[in-house]
Amino acid sequence: MNSQLQNRTPVGPQTFPGAFWCPDLISTRDLGPQGVEAVLHLAELMKSRPSVFQRALAGKQMVMFFEKPSLRTRLTFEAGMTSLGGSAIFVDQTNGRLDAREKLSDIAHNLERWVDVIVLRTFAQETIDDMAQFASIPVINALSDLEHPCQALADYFTLQERFGDLRRVRLAYVGDGNNVAHSLLLTCACLGSSIRIATPEGYAPKDDIVADAIEIAKQTGARIDLFTDPRTAVAGADAIYTDAWASMGQEHEEAQRSSIFPPYQVNRKLMAKAAPHAVFMHCLPAHRGEEVTDEVMDSDSSLIFEQAENRLHVQKAILYLLLGGAVRLPIRSAHA
């Protein structure tokens, strides 16, 4: 008899580290160490055995409201939900904020009667916070001005694939202390990893995010260091990460920022200060020739497209866990 068919076990939140999950994904802080580990573990299963999960969310419906343009976030959520057997509805809000026509609470109470999960890509974090408060169904932060949790989870999943034990990985983030930096800080703290962030004076991550990351790090043994010198931050690092100097909504600051951030450009000279095996990371889209050079972007050490691919697997894991998906995975018999 095929030993893999002798025993099957259900996969769900209870099978992951700490048997932990949360009702919404508004911030990485909602997950905590156990939740982050659960996402990465399930993403690994889903990536290696996608066919097992093809009907895991059959009949479930997801709606996405995006106030900002998107390539990776929109397509990976849509493809992910569809590949799990569910359906996706996209609402383009780039011409007006979500609550411009009616109260957000009214929108939330409509949506909770029609669909199973709400995915938001907004300017204000408050929009996501309020939607989660009013809606009785799960809400996912697909990007706000404060955090980008799905991106950071995919980034650490990518690092795990490359290096294995994340507790031994040293990530250096160079540039603006923005939403991506915030989520990387919190995810690193949850995983007991190490992160060094270098930003110009006045552009450091928000104090409350740093304080929360440090508090989590006390539990997990993570190491968090903040610098203004990018060379100090990247010295001996396993990975160097950067993002755009001006995010969407900050276009009016581009001229000022373009005069401040050039010392933080990731180029060949800066990469040379990292470990010989160091990789380059970017959440995309990149402004080539600004925060990073073509030489680094297109090098063999660049993981940018692995990161983009892993958005799909991580978001599938998040949807599955939030919506209570259930499949039965074949496991090896003890007599095999």
Give the number of residues written for the chain. 336
Single out the catalytic residue among 72, 74, 311, 313: 311
> Is 151 a known active-site residue?
yes
> Is 22 a known active-site residue?
no
Under a CB-based contact definition with an 8 Å cutoff, are residues 176 and 244 in contact? yes
Single out the catalytic residue among 29, 72, 148, 182: 148
- Rounded to 10°, the helix 104-114/125-134 angle is 60
> Is 148 a known active-site residue?
yes
**Calpha distance 317→31 (Å, rounded):** 13
**Calpha distance 190→27 (Å, rounded):** 12
> Is 6 a known active-site residue?
no
DSSP class of 314 = H
Q: DSSP string of 216-242?
A: HHHHH--EEEEES-HHHHHTT-SEEEE
> Is 188 a known active-site residue?
no
| Residue whose entry in the numeric block shows the structure tokens 């008899």 | 1
**Calpha distance 281→36 (Å, rounded):** 20
The radius of gyration computed from the CA coordinates of the chain, to the nearest angstrom, equals 20
Please report which helix (H) or strand (E) contains residue 196, including its range.
Answer: strand 194-198
Phi, psi of 196 (to 5 degrees): -120, 130
Single out the catalytic residue among 29, 121, 196, 257: 121
Q: DSSP string of 120-188?
A: EE-S-HHHHHHHHHH-SS-EEES--SS--HHHHHHHHHHHHHHHS-GGG-EEEEES---HHHHHHHHHH
Token pair recorded at residue 259: 């005069």
**Calpha distance 29→193 (Å, rounded):** 16
> Is 129 a known active-site residue?
no
- Cα separations (Å) of 86 from 116, 117, 171, 257, 284? 10, 11, 35, 42, 27
Single out the catalytic residue among 151, 265, 307, 315: 151
Single out the catalytic residue among 212, 243, 313, 315: 243
Q: Is the peptide bond before 33 cis (omega within 30 degrees of 0)?
A: no
Which residues belong to the active site?
121, 148, 151, 243, 283, 311
